[in-house]
Structure 1
């Protein structure tokens, strides 16, 4: 993926990373959200560092953020926190 180095550099900025997660959430695609979180983890310290900060081992982190992953809220909050982000809730747009 030729644009990957540029994406990872862009995701080092917290505002960009937050916008990236928000865009992934709007897609209503859990696998896409997990891919976004993997990219952010790689950009903002690497998987080994994020694993150490969350208390997960690296294999568990990879498994949690895999396409088939189903992270618990506690794990999701820890991963976001380790990357400098946090969970928040906003009103949904009217349908």
Structure 2
């Protein structure tokens, strides 16, 4: 019997366009799950280079990794710094109400 060698999936390798960044973050925000949003920001930050994001935010790489891991809970100020460092902004939109429900 031969075994198949696998490698861990890293979404950061595939977040390589502005459209992909926006789609990934919009999906995370739509869940309303703070931990998943933090994780998505971490994936996007890794796709851009965590060192570069740390420099732009003025935060340490270690604190970014800690706050942006899945289940992380960064402070709002940190989230806003990261979003700005990624060249993004948070844009409010009304929640769509499903009339059929």
TM over 0.5: yes
**Closer, same or farther in 2 for the Cα pair 1:2/1:66, shift >3 Å?**
closer
Specify the alignment match of 2:70 in structure 1.
67
- Where does structure 1 lack aligned partners over 5 or more consecutive residues? none
**Closer, same or farther in 2 for the Cα pair 1:8/1:65, shift >3 Å?**
closer
Aligned length: 92
2:74 match: secondary structure:
coil
Specify the alignment match of 2:33 in structure 1.
29
Structure 1 segments, 4+ long, off by >6 Å, are none
Q: Structure 1 length normalisation: TM-score?
A: 0.81
Is the CA contact 2:36–2:71 (under 8 Å) kept in the aligned structure 1? no
Q: CA RMSD in A?
A: 1.8
- Where does structure 2 lack aligned partners over 5 or more consecutive residues? 1-6
